[in-house]
Amino acid sequence: MAKNEFTRGEFLRSTVLGGLALSASVAVGQSGKARRPNIAVVLSDDHNYRSVGYNNAAVKTPTLDRLGREGVIFDHAYIATPICASSRASLLTGLFPQQHGAIALDGSGFRENVVEQKRLPTLAQLLAKAGYDTAFCGKSHLGPPREYGFAEGEELKDPTDDQTFDFAARFIEKRKDNPTPFLLWMAPRQPHVPLRPPDEWLDLYRDTEIPVDPNFLETPPPDSIFNQGLPGERYYRDSDFRNNFKELPAGPPRSREQIKEFTRAYYAVISRLDHQLGKLMGQIKDAGLYENTVFIYLSDNGYHLGNHGLGNKITMHEESVCVPMLLHWPMLKKTGIRNKHLVSSLDLFPTLLDLAGAPIPAGLPGMSLLPLLEEPMKPLRTYAVSECVGVGGKKGMGHRMVRTEQWKYVLTDVNDEALFDEEADPFEMVNVANAEANQAILQRLRGYMKEWMERVGDTHQRPPGV
């Protein structure tokens, strides 16, 4: 490559920024070379995508709303897998669970492939190689973060996340006059259960009519294909309401009033987290880092608030696999955009390498989002996938889904299938897989599923008829 030729990342950065990268002093270092942005990621825990102010007027999240207005909101962001440890492993490796080996809550495959055998590089390792300083604070679920590439920081178990944000504040303060770009990965525990919001945050919702979604049920239908395990097992239907606010029953049935009380506490915790994010953005600004810091917010998975009679996540329903996600960067040319096209949590890995001008490993399932930032109307992909084949740490239970802009196809481990028309039925109330009129689209989606299963080495039998 000729010396004065841009790398692909530099080219995209310069076009996405509308030429600002090469002219604005903030983006050009003394050497005349475009300065690479800092990267700050906030990965929250179990944040349902409808429980954010820009999607739901009942929820008070002024910081996320503002960051979305000034940045880009990805309305259809799908997580590689709707369960904590393996979703985090997917973000850090850019791979699906069946590729990196951390299945459900069992992080041992990640430990083996990443920490012990060093077969898979992490985002932190690749950014460090590209000259970034790296730091981690908050929930790991995959062992000590220094063992998988972060130079600074540690797992913090404070359920209020005050320690996590204190760490972040100290880190940012230290970066004031440091020209080396950084990756700061913050993983708060909120709004994961148990919910214990202080009264001042609950008071915010004292007079709020708490919405309950149209797909609320007291109990899942007996023929639901969305069991999260087998009867008697830990993940059956859900048991994750234990130790919750006002001690909601662990499993169904749960009344509408009980779900409302739970949701009120859930919103209160989200507002508290939003307040912490507001302080964080202020600290970034005070340190003079605001202009050149790419800030990303997303959650490791969604959450069922009584939707389909369920709590917890781990299903292929929208409440579980779709997450709130936004990108904020004052240097962006096109902002204030609600991007409706499909994105995957796996896209973060190549996107951040692209922003850093670092080489992107070949064969990744994710795609850099920079073209989508540049041309928001041009879809990046035909379909997104989420999988959860190892609920409870065992393969052989679970499900996988293919999502296009209009349709969702689900294949379970006992070969049940579901097809939802997301435009006509956004709450996924009717499985239309058997409708005569849908056979052609069903077959097309089965084909996408087969393609993906072969790519990740899914050992389950292929969908029927493809």
Which residues contact Ca ion by CB under 5 A? Answer: 45-46, 84, 300-301
Q: How far is Cα 30 from Cα 20, in angstroms, rounded to an integer?
A: 16
Residue nearest to Ca ion (CB): 84
> Nearest approach, Cβ of 17 to Ca ion (angstroms)?
33
Question: Which residues, at least 6 apart from 10, have a Cβ–Cβ distance to it below 8 Å?
Answer: 21, 34, 357
> Least distance from C-beta 229 to Ca ion, angstroms?
16
Choose between 312 and 368: whose C-beta lies nearer to Ca ion. Answer: 312
Smaller CB distance to Ca ion: residue 265 or 355?
A: 265
Q: How far is the CB of 322 from Ca ion (least distance, A)?
A: 14
Closest CB to Ca ion among residues 238, 300: 300
Under DSSP, the state recorded for 289 is -
We find the least distance from the C-beta atom of residue 301 to Ca ion, in angstroms, to be 5
Nearer to Ca ion, 20 or 84 (CB): 84
DSSP assignment of 95-109: S-HHHH--BTTBTHH
Comparison of 187 and 419: residue with beta carbon closer to Ca ion: 187
Nearer of residues 161 and 300 to Ca ion, judged by Cβ: 300
Instruction: Return the residue matching tokens 């060093």.
Output: 118
What is the rounded CA–CA span in Å between residue 201 and residue 205?
8
Least distance CB 192 / Ca ion (angstroms) = 6
Going by C-alpha positions, the residue among 158, 154, 157 that lies closest to residue 171 is: 154
- Smallest distance, Å, CB 303 to Ca ion? 8
What distance in Å separates the CA atoms of residue 452 and residue 432, rounded to the nearest whole number? 22
- The amino acid at 327: L
- Report the nearest approach of Ca ion to the CB of residue 266 (Å): 13
Least Cα distance to 433 among 442, 445, 446 occurs for 442
**Ordered DSSP codes for 183-247:** EEEEE--TTSSSP---HHHHHTTTT------TTB-SS--TT-S--SS-TTSTTSS--TTTT-GGG
300 versus 387: smaller Cβ distance to Ca ion: 300
Q: Which is nearer to Ca ion, 39 or 84 (CB)?
A: 84
CA dist 228 and 305 (Å) reads 15
In whole angstroms, the minimum distance from the beta carbon of 391 to Ca ion comes to: 14
Under DSSP, is residue 387 helix (H, G, I), strand (E, B) or coil? strand
Angle between helices 256-286 and 162-174 (to 10 degrees): 20
Residues 6+ positions from 246 with CB-CB distance below 8 Å: 261, 262, 265
Q: Is 299 helix (H, G, I), strand (E, B) or coil?
A: strand
Give the SS3 label for residue 355. Answer: helix
Q: 46 or 458: whose CB is closer to Ca ion? A: 46
> Least CB distance from residue 119 to Ca ion, whole Å?
25
